[in-house]
Amino acid sequence: MEPGEPAVIVCKTEMVKPMSIRRAEARGLKPGGYVMIDDMPCRIVSVEKSKPGKHGAAKIDLEAVGFFDNKKRAAMMPADRMVDVPVIDKRSATVIADMGENYSLMDSDTFETYEILKPADQELAAQIKLNSSVEVWDVMGKRVIMRVKTEK
């Protein structure tokens, strides 16, 4: 290492997690919440908790649906296991252009402009017009339009 060169620390014992994930105990998960299963963010549909047995700990049986692909996923784990929970950043944006398969949006807080895929849900896509306000969720670095905000 040369003098004045910044030190680089490499950690070989622990995988570095992205900032969009936090850790939580499995026993605290509830239906309607979110969890990472097979490295995919999923919405929890049902949670069943078993009682601890004579020689074992309580178990959690999760059923969840993939956030991006709507695939059904299941997981069974000890209730005291630490699981990854995706951090969802909910933002407001305005549709400024229809670009075929994408919309061009402007963030209402930072005034940043970006392109986003049109939603797969045809009912939601039909409600989106130019200059309409939408709610955008940023999950694991991927942005998705979740709903159209109604004007009061």
In the predicted structure, residue 22 carries a pLDDT above the cut 70: yes
Among 2, 56, 64, residue whose Cα is nearest residue 32: 64
Could you tell me if 95 and 134 lie in one domain?
A: yes
DSSP string, 112-140: -EEEEEPPS-HHHHHH--TT-EEEEEEET
pLDDT 10s digits, 86-140: 999 999 999 999 998 999 999 999 999 999 999 888 898 889 999 999 999 998 8
Q: What pLDDT does residue 122 have? A: 87
Helix (H, G, I), strand (E, B) or coil at 28: helix
Q: Can you tell me which residue has the tokens 């940043």?
A: 112
Give the domain CATH number at 138.
2.40.50.140
pLDDT 10s digits, 39-84: 899 999 999 998 887 778 889 999 999 988 889 999 999 999 999 9
Please list the residues that pair with 75 across neighbouring strands: 62
Q: What pLDDT does residue 53 have? A: 76
Containing 125, the helix (H) or strand (E) segment is: helix 122-127
Evaluate whether residue 60 is within a structural domain: yes
Q: What pLDDT does residue 4 have? A: 52
CA 8 to chain centre: 30
pTM beyond 0.85: the answer is: no
Neighbouring residues of 92: CB distance < 8 A, sequence distance ≥ 6: 107, 108, 109, 133, 134, 135, 136, 149
Could you tell me if 31 and 49 lie in one domain?
A: yes
Could you tell me if 118 and 77 lie in one domain?
A: no
Of 121 and 4, which is predicted with more confidence? 121
Containing 144, the helix (H) or strand (E) segment is: strand 142-148
In the predicted structure, residue 6 carries a pLDDT above the cut 90: no
Neighbouring residues of 32: CB distance < 8 A, sequence distance ≥ 6: 43, 44
pLDDT tier at 20 (50, 70, 90 boundaries)?
confident
Of 4 and 24, which is predicted with more confidence? 24
Q: Can you tell me which residue has the tokens 């970006």?
A: 114
Q: What pLDDT does residue 151 have? A: 67
> In which domain, by residue range, is 125 found?
88-148
